Amino acid sequence: MDWKKTDWKKVLMYSSFAAGAALFLSGRKPAGLAAAGIGLATLASRHPEKFEEIWRRMPEYLDKGSQFIETAAGFLEQIKEQAEQAAEEAAETGLHIAQGGRS
């Protein structure tokens, strides 16, 4: 690799976004947001027209993101309810078996 021809802004931008995602998903949200912010600032300096487009469409992205989070939260709630119901049924079955099958 020819290091003299490396586009360091591009390297910084992609690595910042990747680090931001990894940090955010691992629970280190403030650090993840800071890393993503570095990537966003680099994108803005490198491609002002793309940054303007992202900025213009931000409400749409936020709306889609919140819809995704609501859907995921509903899905997780359903899983939790089914797990609780299964645990209750298992406990009742276990109690029934422990009593020797007597009702």
In the chain, the amino acid numbered 98 is A
Listed in sequence order, the residues at least 6 apart from 77 whose beta carbon sits closer than 8 Å to its beta carbon are: none
**Backbone φ, ψ for residue 26 (5° rounding):** -85, 5
Q: Which pLDDT score, from 0 to 100, does residue 2 have? A: 64
Q: Which pLDDT score, from 0 to 100, does residue 51 have? A: 77
In this predicted model, what pLDDT tens digit does every residue of 80-89 receive, in sequence order?
999 999 888 8
Beta-carbon count within 10 A of 41 CB? 14
Answer whether 47's CB lies under 8 Å from 11's CB: no
In this predicted model, what pLDDT tens digit does every residue of 13-63 receive, in sequence order?
889 989 988 988 888 888 988 998 898 888 888 888 877 888 888 889 888
Give the position of tokens 């949200």.
29
